[in-house]
Structure formats: C-alpha cells, structure tokens
Structure 1
Amino acid sequence: MRGRRRKQAEGLPNRVYKRSNSFWWVRTTDQKWIKLSREAEGETRMLARLAEEKRKIEVDVSTGSLPRLVQIYMTDHQARYADSFRKEWIRRGECVRTAFAHWDIEQVDAGAIDDFLRQNWGEKLSSLQAMHGWMSKFFSWAVVRRYAIVNPCREVSITKPKIRRVYITDHDFMAIRQALGMYVYTKRVNGVEKSMNATVPTGAMMQVFVDLCYLTCQRSTEIRHLRWSQVDYRKGVIHFVPSKTASSTGEAVDWPIIPSIASVFDRAKSIGVHSEYVIHDHHGQPKTDAACRDAWRDGKRRAGLEDRPYTVKDIRAKAMTDAKRQGYDLDALQIAGAHADRATTAGYIKSRDIPVSTVKLDLPSTSNA
C-alpha cells in the first residue's frame, strides 16, 4: 500500500502520517506502513523512532545490498515464527548478513551459496540443510519483491541428513530418570568406605519433565512451556497447541489426564515456588532448553550411560514407538503427535521400530535335485 499524498501540510516529516492516534511511516523500500509511536508519546519519540527505522535501510557504501535486504526480510518475517524458534531463525539470518556483508544481491550465484554452506557446515548435514532452507526462502522473497531475478539456492544440491534411529531402551530410560533425582557417591566413615545417596536439587522437577514428555508424546518445548491454565481438570484434558506448527498447520490436541499424568501433576505442585508454568526453575520461569539438556546429560553420566547417543528429543520418539508396539495404529498416533502429515508419524515409528522377518527357510535337500 502506497502512502497517500497529503492535501495540506501537517508539519510531519516526509512519508509520515497520523492514523488511529499513532504516527506511521511508509517505508520507501517496500511501501509497508511502519508504526513509529503513539501520538500521546510526543513528536520527539516519533522522530527518534523514524531515525531508527531509516537507519535499517540506509545504504552504507562499505557494505553491499544483500545484508540490508536480509535485515528488511528478517524484520518483516520474524514474527511468523514461534518464540521457541525465533532466536535461532534470527541467528541464521545474522550468519548470512555477516558472511555476505560486502556483497550486492546481484553478485550472489549458486557457487557462492554452495561455498558458504560447505565451508561452514560441510560435515553437519542438519545445519547445512537448515541454512540452505533459510536462504532459499529469503531469495524467493527477493524474487517476488523484484530485488533478484532468480533464486540461486535452487541450483544447490543438498544431501539430506540420515534418519535418526536412536531408541532409548526401557532399562536405560528408567536408569537415567532415576539418576536425574539421585546419585550415589562413596564416603569414608570410620575408615570404611560406604556408598551414600545424594539428592539432586533440580531432580524432582526434571523427573516431572521427563515423565510428561513420555506420557503425553509431546515435544519437549511444549512440556517446558506448559501452563497450568492449559490443564483443564473440569474436562479432564490438557490443551496442547504445538508451537512448531502454530503459525502453519496449527495442529492441536487435547490429551486426557489419566491417573498416571494426574499423579505427575500432583508431584509438580509440591515442588519449588508457585508458578504459572508446570515445569519451572526456582524463579518460577519456564526451564530453558539448555537447562533441560544439561540435566539430561548429567543424568546419563550418573547412570553410566554417557556414551549412549540419547537426547531429550528421543523421549518423544520412544513414547510413540512404545505406543505402536502396544497396538495403537498410525491414525491414533498422528493425533497424539499433533502431526499434520501422516507420513511424519510413520517416519517416527519406522526409523526406530525394527521389523522382524517371518520368513523361515531350511537348507535345500539333495533329493530335490
């Protein structure tokens, strides 16, 4: 939408307008209306915000056009991503801006992109695929906006990472779970070494976290950000809206509060300070991904399983694989996992549930020659 031509002077800077009791600026690069401030905040605040927005698109002779366009793209699109992923998405964009700081968008071809990806993530296929996807979306936007003629990412071939086939055995799962809350150490008492048990301060909450990840088949992010307001005791369900698909498919699921889950909630209520989050730290804030990852790693070490490739994300895969083995079909598991695509559910199971052949043969008999 283009800025309207003023019929009379209002004493405002060029391309700045008043609308809905606020000051708005029509950005020159894409004609988008940018809210600067409320009228009540005064003209000084408006001018400061205008200068801030203009700096974002100013042409710096020491830099190329690509980093400037990447910044515009990031500003316009970051709100589309869930909070849990937004920081990572922005970090990827900053990697692109830094690497191509002196490039104009017309200079970037398939070879430049291939060199950038291989040199930085050649052996890390998951990261390489993620960065390729980020850049491909950016160049698609640039083509639509007429900043570029073609999307050079389409010519870059990417090897998909191997399917993860890690399955946590029941024994190892329970060993790590126990080690999250308690560990054994040796202490000399009256000249005799004795085994002593010690409690991990954050262990009880981490056990609640692990239990809910398994019992609900949800992503660890959904469990870390689970609020008590989502726990509907009246209807007997937990309302889950997966953050990963909140801005796309929006798949949601209501999970029944069965006795085993209700018991976990009762434990959670007795731990730490009062919080709106089920899983929280000693300040009442949701536990971070790093905190849960570190606690899981320490639990593996105390359980003597530090050499196993188990991660927190493998808990969900184990839960869905176990459910399949208990007789639940793919339709039920697709609903449980809040997957928009049935193939995604099948992938979770097939990669970890190794089939057993029913073919039985005997050596051929010489009488049949």
Structure 2
Amino acid sequence: MNARRRTRPDGLPGRVYEKGASYYWVRPDNRWIRLSKVLEGDLKMLERLAEEKRRFQPVFEGRGNLPAIISTYMDQKASTYAASYRDEWKRRGEGVRSYFRDWNVERIDAAAVEDFLLNNWPDKLPTQRAMKAWLSTFFSWAVRKKHATVNPTREVKVKKPKKRNVYIRDDHFLAIREWLLKYSFTLHEGTSQARKVTGTVPTGPMMQCMIDLCYLTCQRSTDIRTLTWDQIDNEAGVIHFLPSKTEDSSGEAVDWPLTPDINAVLSHAKLLAPAFGQKYVIRDRRGNPKTDQACRDAWEGAMARAGLADKPYTIKDIRAKAMTDARRAGYDLDALQVAGAHTDRSTTQGYIKSREVPVSTVVLHLPQGDAA
C-alpha cells in the first residue's frame, strides 16, 4: 500500500500515519513499518521512528562507514541524556549523520569539521558551538572504541557568541501573548475582491499558560515544558523545581510559592484538552509534554502575526525579562539568585546587568562665553 497524501494537518511527522490503534511509518520504498501503539504516546512513536530511520537510511543514502558508527553511538548514549534534552541531542546527531553520509570516519579531519560548521551555520555562533560539542563528544567515544585515532574537533576554533542582551518590551510581550491565541489574514479572491479571515489557534491557550508560567516563576522554558502535576505541592503551597540544567551538576533546586496568579494559570491549564490522564501541566493533544520545536514554532508564528518577526525575541528571553523586571521591582540579587537556582552570583548578575540600561545624571549647559 502506498502512502497517501494528507488532506489536512494532523500533527504527525512526514510519512507517519495513525492506522487502527497504532502508528506506522511508510518507508521511502513504500513498506509500512509499525512503530508503536497510539496509547503509548508520541514520545514512544518518535523514538521508534528515529530507530527505524537509522536502520533504513544508510542503505539508501550513504556510502561511507561514518553513518553506521554514529547510529551505534546514538543507540548506546541516548539514554544517558535527560529526557528533556534527548530529542534535541538526537536531532543534532541525525544532522551530523546526514551531512557525512558518504564519509569514512578516518577521513574526517579538522578541515571537514570546520566546513560542516561554517557551511551550515555561517552566522549562528551558538549553533556552531553546540554542534562542535556534539562532534567532540562523539569522536572522544570513537577514539576509545578504536573507530578513530584522533579527535579532529580539538583543532577547530569557534568564536564565542556575543553576550545576549535582549530584553522583551512589555508591550511586545503582551502582543505576542495575545497573538498566540488568534490569527488574521486577508484572503484575495480574484482581482478586486478581498476578505479578512480571522480565527483562533487551537494550541494557543496552552501556549499562553506556558509563557505565563515561564514569566511568573522565572524558570527555564525546558523546566516549564516538562513540569508535572506531582511537582505542584498544594499542601506546602509551592512548586518543587529541580532545574534540568543543574540536576547532574550542582543539583541546585528551588521551591516557588504558589501565588494567586500562578494558581490561576494552573487552574486554566488543568481544564484544557486533554483533561484526562494528565501528567504534564503543559501538554500536547495526546497528553505528552510539548516539544521544544512545537513551542518555538508557536512563539515565532505569534511574533509574525503581531508584526514582530524582525525582533530577536525567543522563549528563552522570557526568563531574563522576568528576572530583570523583578530587579526593577526592588528584589535584591540574593533573592534573584535563589529564584534562578544559580550557584554563582555572577550568573544572576549576568542575566540582569546586560539588560539594564543606565540613565546618566549628568546635566550640561552650552557655554556662555567670556564677558567683555
């Protein structure tokens, strides 16, 4: 049976279909591969999809031995990464595997790594650094497993990105928040007819809850995306946060008070679909935590509809805005260090200082000249 063309969006990856009680992937050779049961959720389906693609693609897409070695590495190491980061880690690995599909591991040198970074992300220094880090860890493993003799990333230098100093203006934040809920565009019919089309975005209310919690708790978007109802301690009146970025290092945690504003957002989120079998506060239509990419797409779409597509705002900037606003409201650095679960006070200062523009108190007058 051949894959059918979708007549309406269903939120599934390309060539993946829901058939009966299961998900299936239609390979490029039109063979249907069962991935998982629908009841097992999207995460299980996506893991199986990545696994099946790795098994299939080297036969059809590459002539080198590097893709197979990368596949082995990813299969062995994926489980060592936090669930909140694992999908992003796999996505980076798939990008490396695809780019070097015709390469043998022994041919990869510093020049090849540098070309990979510069050809794909010439103006994105943070992404260059992230991909170099992925390759460095991979080649370190490859050397230990005797697939390679050297780690070629050691000779590659990547410029350090400029310190991020983006602050989301209040009116821009509120505009993006509003446009998460709706869309509007002009539909031209013929040469002279046009009508305005407006509507609501089905995922908008849940995304509003997400950015509201990002702001009201000063926490990272990853920790809001993966927030579970078990972390809401109504008896103690707090949310228990163990930031994913520090769980394997400092283990720094923070309990955030359940303010009336936060309780209102949580109550709203609880009523949104799906309202049954809930585990995650911010969830997709199947009850799974929203993916980083889905949140980025929703945020960028709302920015475009709000006329702010040219602005450099990202969801991650909400945390910096919240901490900067708290500082302006009178909270000292000690309170903000606790709020941000920072072990180093300089980290807290970095969040705020670069976004605070000092106002000069110097007042000058034009010289009057010497009296005759």
Q: Which amino acid aligns with 2:319?
A: R
Residue 303 (str. 1) matches residue 300 (str. 2): no
How many Å separate the matches in 1 of 2:72 and 2:292? 29
TM-score (norm. length: structure 1): 0.70
User: Which range is displaced more, 205-214 or 306-315?
Assistant: 306-315
* Equivalent of residue 296 in structure 2, options 284, 293, 297: 293
Alignment of 1:141-220 (within 5 A): 141-144=141-144, 148-181=148-181, 199-220=200-221
1:224 maps to what in 2? 225
TM-score (norm. length: structure 2): 0.69
How many Å separate the matches in 2 of 1:305 and 1:343? 31
1:126 maps to what in 2? 126
How many Å separate the matches in 2 of 1:237 and 1:282? 27
Change (3 A) 1:357 1:338: same
Q: Which amino acid aligns with 2:312?
A: P
Q: Which amino acid aligns with 1:330?
A: L
How many Å separate the matches in 2 of 1:158 and 1:289? 25
2:248 maps to what in 1? 247
2:328 maps to what in 1? 325
Change (3 A) 1:283 1:155: closer
Count of residue pairs brought into register by the alignment: 305
Residue 87 (str. 1) matches residue 87 (str. 2): yes
Q: How far did residue 331 of structure 1 move? A: 3.1
1:261 maps to what in 2? 262
1:81, 1:247 within 8 Å by CA — same for their partners in 2? no
Deviations 1:311-369 (A, max 9, x none): 222211211111122222333223222234443333222332223344555667877xx
Residue 336 (str. 1) matches residue 369 (str. 2): no
* Equivalent of residue 350 in structure 2, options 341, 344, 347: 347
1:20 maps to what in 2? none
- Pairwise CA RMSD: 3.6
* Structure 2 unaligned regions, length at least 5: 1-50, 187-194
| Identity over aligned pairs, percent | 58
Q: Which amino acid aligns with 1:161?
A: P
1:80, 1:247 within 8 Å by CA — same for their partners in 2? no
2:67, 2:98 within 8 Å by CA — same for their partners in 1? yes
1:34 maps to what in 2? none
1:136, 1:154 within 8 Å by CA — same for their partners in 2? yes
How many Å separate the matches in 1 of 2:292 and 2:123? 24
How many Å separate the matches in 2 of 1:263 and 1:98? 46
1:82, 1:247 within 8 Å by CA — same for their partners in 2? no
1:23 maps to what in 2? none
* Structure 1 unaligned regions, length at least 5: 1-51, 187-193
How many Å separate the matches in 2 of 1:94 and 1:195? 41
1:138 maps to what in 2? 138
How many Å separate the matches in 2 of 1:109 and 1:270? 54
Q: Which amino acid aligns with 1:339?
A: H
Q: How far did residue 132 of structure 1 move? A: 1.1
How many Å separate the matches in 1 of 2:151 and 2:238? 46
Q: How far did residue 231 of structure 1 move? A: 0.3
2:84, 2:226 within 8 Å by CA — same for their partners in 1? no
Change (3 A) 1:318 1:199: same
- 2:245 partner SS: helix
